[in-house]
Amino acid sequence: MKQTGYLQWAVENTNTVWWHDSAEPSEIERGIQRGAVGATTNPFLSHLALSLNKDTWAKEVGRVLSEQAEPERKAEQLMSIAIRHAANQFEIQYEKSKGRMGYVCAQVNPARAADRECMLSMARRFHTWAPNIAVKLPATAAGLDVLEDCTAEGITATLTISYTVPQVIAIAERHRKGIQRAEQNGIEPGKCFAVIMIGRLDDYLRDVAHDSEAGISESDIRQAGLAVSKRAYSIYKQQSYEATLIVAALRGTYHMTELAGAEIIMSIAPPYQEMLLSEELPFEEHIDRPVPEDVIERLSALPEFVRAYEPDGMEPKDFITYGVTQRTITQFYEGGWKLLENFQLI
């Protein structure tokens, strides 16, 4: 592959790989051509893909609309149209890598983030859509329970609505328990991808800092998610966790360049792909370059940063009440799932 920008350099020369952040087929095709080895989606992105491909998918959509009257199942089946198409686009990568790459995420109803039974039922259905589906669950106490069950049943999962070191540690530990259960029953355990929504954490802490008049600079805020991600990565390496970290919700190329070299997955939306292709960025690995201690000290004046940064900053029961969690759940439901429930061809 000819080097035409930072993205290509990272693919060819570092341990970092990346997933395409979209469900739209033409965008996915460009992402694959640029080196994407999987796709992250959510209800918003699934609705957007359906809206942009109404003519192409009219027959499939029409069948769902005529057969499904119950809103939640209607949304699920509509989402499956976009997800199945995306999974098909990555099927070759999945097969060639023998199941290591080529996954596409399918997110359960965000409004069910505390409903174990409902999420597990959804996960089992989503798992049948294609062999390379990674069921997307929330990193709540309930979601962790479902993750363990999924892993034990051989269902691959991505844990999202996750921003903190304690969340990704809990994800890795519950995945490990699921692996043990699967192996005891002679089942190939499901894989696990643990998300850090790096930009959403920065956005949240910026609001907290402004509201509390903490006097923390924008430069420090922009390093909060990086500090969390680097600490989480260090712990994952020390503990040799089987789960893989995904860094998502980028807010600039610096989120990519400062984590370059880590054995993680970066989830990159098309606009940031373009920036990583066109901007002149240093071809250097920075994962081992720590966030300065004085930055950590200033950020630690915010209790909400401490909760995110310290491994024992929160218990699983606290995850659903962390401020940015509720914000994201609402956005994913109101701006995505609810729109799918009300989707029409006209």
Reading the block at residue 185, the tokens are 């029953």
- The residue written with tokens 């592959």 in the block is 1
What pLDDT, on a 0 to 100 scale, did the predictor assign at position 304?
98
Q: What are the counts of helices (DSSP H) followed by strands (DSSP E) for the chain?
A: 19, 8
8 A C-beta contact, residue 39 and residue 23 = yes
Reading the block at residue 136, the tokens are 């997307």
Q: What amino acid occupies position 278? A: S
- Mean pLDDT in residue range 309-327: 97
- Mean pLDDT in residue range 106-121: 98
Question: Above pLDDT 70, what percent of the chain?
Answer: 99
Residue 346 confidence class, pLDDT cut points 50, 70, 90: confident
Averaged pLDDT of the chain? 96
| b/e sequence 234-254, b meaning 16+ C-beta within 10 Å | ebbeeeebebbbbbbbbeebe
Q: What is the sign, positive or negative, of the torsion defined by CA atoms of 126, 129, 131, 136?
A: negative
Q: What is the CATH number of domain 14-199+240-288+320-341?
A: 3.20.20.70
Reading the block at residue 21, the tokens are 């952040």
Distance CA 2, CA 270 (A): 20
- Mean pLDDT in residue range 15-40: 96
Q: What amino acid occupies position 75? A: A
Distance CA 28, CA 86 (A): 7
pLDDT in tens, 134-154: 999 999 999 999 999 999 999
What pLDDT, on a 0 to 100 scale, did the predictor assign at position 152?
98
What is the domain partition of the chain in residue ranges? Answer: 14-199+240-288+320-341
Distance CA 141, CA 66 (A): 36
Distance CA 128, CA 89 (A): 17
Tell me the β-bridge partners of 38: 103
pLDDT in tens, 181-237: 999 999 999 999 999 999 999 999 999 999 999 999 999 999 999 999 999 999 999
Residue 278 confidence class, pLDDT cut points 50, 70, 90: confident
8 A C-beta contact, residue 279 and residue 5 = yes
User: 0.85 cut: is pTM over it?
Assistant: yes
Distance CA 118, CA 71 (A): 15
Distance CA 332, CA 266 (A): 20
Task: Say whether pLDDT at 1 is over 70.
Answer: no
Burial of 68 (0-12, 13-18, 19+ CB in 10 A): middle
Q: What is the DSSP letter of 172?
A: H
